[in-house]
Amino acid sequence: MYVPSHFEEARLEVLHQLIRARPLATVITLSAGGINANHVPLHLAPAQGRFGALQGHVARSNPIWSDRVQDVEALAIFKGPDAYISPSWYPAKREHGKVVPTWNYVVVHAYGPLRVIDDPVWLRGQLQALVGEHEASSIAPWSISDAPPEFIERMIGSIVGFEIVISKLVGKWKLSQNQPAANRAGVVDGLTARADADALEVAELVKEASRNAR
């Protein structure tokens, strides 16, 4: 991924925060027949290794685990909010007109070797961690123990686990940092007026990036 220095985000806690907030990753692997891309919710185990580890599972019939080039690292992409940026929001448009549209976004790329884990005990623990994290805010959280044991055993038998211990973590926070302060303020106003969820979230991120640039 091309990351100009002014768009680079290297703070581990910030990268981990996005992974937790947007856990549905695009997991890219290389197979004998070419590149595979799968969309898999991943659980972050932050204490493993230098950058943490990503744990997930797929259907046993998914070739991500059985047909892969084992000496090539996997790539997991976590995409945050994004928004189109109109040049009409820039004061510079009225001053000289030398402005063009762009797109603001935040994204994390996590690299590492993919290790297959075909172990029902590990899988149960991975499922409990994933479900527990996403059921925590529910008024009536669902638990694996709510389902009949024989049904859960059958479900666990139909999946395979995997873990990616992260060897490299790259963050790109493209938030108008290359624009002057007046244009950044215009971006915030334009996104706020648009008012959809991603636009509002990107507006807050642009404001935060502007504060950090001072």
Instruction: Give the tens place of pLDDT for each residue, 173-204.
Output: 999 999 999 999 999 999 999 989 999 999 99
Number of helices and strands (H, E) in the chain?
6, 10
Residue 96: inside a domain: no
> Would 144 be classed as within a structural domain?
yes
Which two three-digit tokens encode residue 127?
Answer: 């499922």
Residues 6+ apart with CB under 8 A from 40: 24, 25, 27, 56, 57, 58
The verdict on residue 31 lying in a domain is yes
Q: Enumerate the β-bridge partners of residue 38.
A: 27
**Of the candidates 214, 213, 212, 207, which has an alpha carbon nearest to the alpha carbon of residue 104?**
207
Strand ranges, E, within the chain: 8-9, 24-31, 34-41, 43-45, 53-59, 74-85, 102-112, 114-117, 159-165, 168-174
At 129-176, the pLDDT tens digits run 999 999 999 999 999 999 999 999 999 999 999 999 999 999 999 999
Asked if residue 199 belongs to a domain, the reply is: no
Q: In the Cβ-directed half-sphere of 212, how many Cα atoms lie within 13 Å?
A: 15
Task: List pLDDT tens digits, range 22-46.
Answer: 999 999 999 988 999 999 999 999 9
Domain membership of residue 203 (yes or no) is no
Residue 196 domain-assigned? no
Domain count, the chain: 1
> Domain of 134: which CATH number?
2.30.110.10
Looking up tokens 């703070």 gives 11
**Residue 33, token pair as written in the block:** 């027949």
Is residue 45 in some structural domain?
yes
By residue range, what is the domain housing residue 72?
Answer: 5-82+104-178
Task: Please state the φ and ψ torsions of residue 82, each to the nearest 5 degrees.
Answer: -145, 160
pTM summary value: 0.93
Residue 214's pLDDT is what?
61
